[in-house]
Structure 1
Amino acid sequence: MLKSIDPLLSPDLLMVLRSMGHGDEIAIVDGNFPAAAMARRLVRLDGLTATAVTNAILSVMPLDDFVPEAAWRMEVVGDPGAEQPIFDEFRAIIARHEGLNFRLGSLERFAFYERASAAYAIVSTGETRLYGNIILKKGVVRNE
């Protein structure tokens, strides 16, 4: 155990987050996502939800504020403008950790797959809600 570090952040996930550089991306995906087939680096957190993992990651990792978008969700197939309840949860987590300057972008399913497969790492969760997938772009930690 570590002080002030969310216990959901496993040793493997902490190593990945620490190894990532500015602009690298990490995908947090649901249990239906083909993570093992796509991942350059795979971290498995099967018993956890995508929202809990996203919250834990954003407790230690800043989003990139040098780009127009730094977080993306997968669009609903056949209805790209449709909203799923998990999307609002992702937005609330981003706002809690990064403020209201960041919006949750969206990517068509296969564009999301392509971006996830190019990500530095994929975190495969036990999320059972459909479209429980998000990609985050790492920013810089500023001396304040």
Structure 2
Amino acid sequence: MSSVLTVLEAISHLTSAPAPRPPALSAPCDANAGRRLLSRNTESLLGAEPEGRKVRIMVTMPSSAATDYPLVRDLLRNGMNCMRINCAHDAEPAWSNMIRNLRQAEQETGRSCKIEMDLAGPKLRTGPLQPGPPVLKIRPQR
């Protein structure tokens, strides 16, 4: 963190703009407070704890979920708590259809489900490599 602050201070000096201050650290908490915090954040992210189990089920949608309503409905009926849409695949129309299918299934089943959209990150691309020098193989004489 200190190197990031050093860079920010250097940029601030060069631009005559004030350097941003790091956020204040939160106060430490005991184990019980930590469990409550984890529970609250988990519920916010993945939905309420299902009856009869301690885990939530997140399901990554296949492309077919955009056009296969029974698939989405059956996943919800069978315990899906969070629909994960991998935005590295398909496109906005397919994602919208997946969400539309889920909302319809929620109405039909009376169950609710969170949606998590996983954004695609940068993709490393390489092209053809130019031939390099041959590998030099050396063996000691025995």
TM-score between the two structures when normalised by the length of structure 2: 0.30
Structure number with the higher strand fraction is 1
TM-score by length of 1: 0.30
Q: Which has the higher contact order (CA 8 A, sep 6+)?
A: 1
Q: Which has the higher helix share?
A: 2
